[in-house]
Amino acid sequence: MAIVSLAPRHIHAIAPSAIALNKPAASVQAASTDNGGLVTEGVATLDGLNLDAIAEGRSAESLISTSIPQTNWVATADIYQPGFPPSNVLDGNLNTFWHTTYTVGLPSSAMSGASLPHALTIDMGQTYLINSIAYIPRQDGPSNGNIGEHQIVLSVDNGTWTPVALGTYQDSNSTKTTIFEASYARYVRIIALTEAGSRGPWTSCASFNIFETSTPSPASGEGEWSPTIDFPLVPVSAAIDYSSGNILVWSSWAASTFAGSAGKNTLTATYNMTTGLVSQRNISNTDHDMFCEGLSLDAKGRVVATGGNDAAKTSIYDPEMSSWTAEGHMKIPRGYQSMVTLSNGNLFTIGGSWSGNEGGKNGEIYNPSTNNWTLVPGAPVAPMLTNDAQLVYRADNHGMLFAWKGASIFQAGPSKAMNWYGTNGTGSQVAAGDRADGDAMCGNAVMYDATAGKILVVGGAIDYQGANATANASIITIGTAMSAATVQTISPMSYPRIFANAVVLPTGAIFISGGQEYGIPFSDNGSQLQPEMWDPVSTNFTKLAPQAIPRNYHSIGILLPDATILSAGGGLCGACATNHYDGQIYSPSYLFNPNGSRAIRPVVESAPSQVSVGGTLIATTDSPVTAWAMLRLGATTHTVNTDQRRIPLNATANGTTYTMTLPLDPGVLIPGYYYLFAMGAGVPSLARFVSVPVP
């Protein structure tokens, strides 16, 4: 069997399959409703989501899908156990299923069968424009054969195959829905690479459904979306692992819900940037459910997660050891707080009335060297509260925090009132002025030029939920700590957004995706499927290629080492209709030539692995380049990414050797790990990882 290797962002055609296909007669009955809410007749509901019903959303029309009648469909497979043919996936009976071979009469611990991978292929008899499939595992109790790691590939001729999705499904009998970029296909194949529970070399399937759409994917020229990446959980939080370049994501104690937590574990998954594979891991040694946590990467590049469902705890992930450890408890239990790493290497957190009682969530400091939290009585939360309809329960959530000079913090939002917080001694607070656009709860704030103190603030709403989103956009400029900020109102975004994500790119442009026009947690109504790019020179917003899947409440966006962006998640609400166990990677237009072919990247041939504040960085490239930038690695949840910031670098060239002097203040060049990008005619290199220690 030819298995495609999906290295990040590279889509390879699959060679004609070498599978010897068994072809029993297929039933023409339509499949029935399953326990995940999937209806295969009439209106399509993916995991319970009525796609027709969200057509009212400004950009939701590309989601509209209907089930394809299974008349004259044929299901084939590489192999099957007698009595469990592939035709069972089309018989409309969830009590029957396709199963690969196993030895009869042996205890389950001793059973064997044909080796993985296995493949199920559906021939629909004619070509359709499709954008989603639904795989229903066996429903009879045993989970043997549940598909784990997988690929989904399409063909119009049963000869050339194109990948549209890859990833890992959760080990459960619930419906697994994969949405992808609309593509024409007659043949749909799911390739099982692993068994979800590692029970044996088996694969099984009770039902397989395919959905069509009337809206083609957009033409090239506005960037490109990758095949769908399926995760075994809803990715609500994400962080970059500097030691590998991989993406670590997590949900809560369960894959699809945060409710009912006992505060004992967190489900995580890792997307491997090199192999394109998704692995999973249950973190239980810290006794910490990290959902709704405060989050930041510390000066050593470790992931620091605080509070959330388990409101007082601190857990730290060490990329070098690939392990989580339990650390000191906060003085004030919190959830939905923001946290930021400071110029002196300490971490500051404030707000967070979602858990651990309401109100009084004043600032405190974590010292990684002593593993102790200390209250900062001079850093009160009251000045940064929004005027939310749900009062303080929401009013102190998701602060837009930026570390700055002298171990200070600038709070840009979401309240219209901006503030400075100092952390020396017993702390201090100074008003920094008001933004003219009002409160911007669950909006976005990004430091796109730290050298110049430039921050873009976009979107949000006056209330956390039940309010219209805005398209507002402002540029904030900060300089001397504790002095008034300058605010410039600029032309708005193309679309109003709440619960969106914003990511700064090596060029200084900002990619904005997802969100809703009216804030309703756990809803995909009013989804904004068309992302946009902000240009820091023109200050204009440009519409980009629409994405296939809504990214609203509990979604993430994060910059990857190859200068692309992962957009993922949304949901985590149990049996709700909007759990999105997936992501896609967006390749901006700077990676393409005008004719749509891939641009040739410059290569950073040498660069130091560590630099110092105020020091000199010398790097070489394989060809002349025109610009350099350092971008701090990100960690994000709930629209907040306090870590990301861009440092543009001025370089002196000697051939293809470039010398750059780094910022003199650790409040600009915050200690931690950075991407180093070189750009030739706007095309970014692959990043080098560079660390900046605490001075």
User: Which positions are annotated as active-site residues?
Assistant: 553
Asked whether 139 and 175 are in contact (CB, 8 A), the reply is no
Secondary structure (3-state) at 273: coil
Asked whether 328 and 347 are in contact (CB, 8 A), the reply is no
Give the residue among 583, 555, 4, 502 at the shortest CA–CA distance from 237: 555
Give residues with Cβ within 8 angstroms of 434, minimum separation 6: 416, 417, 418, 487
Cis peptide before 142 (omega within 30 of 0): no
The helix or strand, by DSSP H or E, that contains position 561, with its residue range, turns out to be none
Q: How far apart are CA 30 and CA 72, in angstroms?
A: 11
Give residues with Cβ within 8 angstroms of 32, minimum separation 6: 40, 92, 93, 94
Q: Find the length of the chain.
A: 695
Q: How far apart are CA 105 and CA 682, in angstroms?
A: 64
Asked whether 644 and 447 are in contact (CB, 8 A), the reply is yes
Give the residue among 672, 667, 679, 618 at the shortest CA–CA distance from 242: 672
Residue by residue, DSSP assigns 346-387 as: -EEEE--BTSSSSS----EEEETTTTEEEE-TT--SGGG---
Q: How far apart are CA 238 and CA 246, in angstroms?
A: 10
Cis peptide before 216 (omega within 30 of 0): no
Asked whether 148 and 231 are in contact (CB, 8 A), the reply is no
Distances from the Cα of 560 to the Cα of 382, 577, 663, 688, angstroms: 36, 29, 24, 12
The dihedral of CA 422, 423, 428, 433: what is its sign? positive
Give residues with Cβ within 8 angstroms of 457, minimum separation 6: 400, 412, 413, 435, 437, 440, 443, 444, 445, 472, 473, 474, 475, 476
Write out the two tokens for 232: 């075994």
Residue 48 CB neighbour total at 10 angstroms: 16
Give the residue among 342, 305, 335, 302 at the shortest CA–CA distance from 319: 302
Q: How far apart are CA 663 and CA 648, in angstroms?
A: 10
Distances from the Cα of 400 to the Cα of 232, 385, 390, 393, angstroms: 30, 12, 19, 17
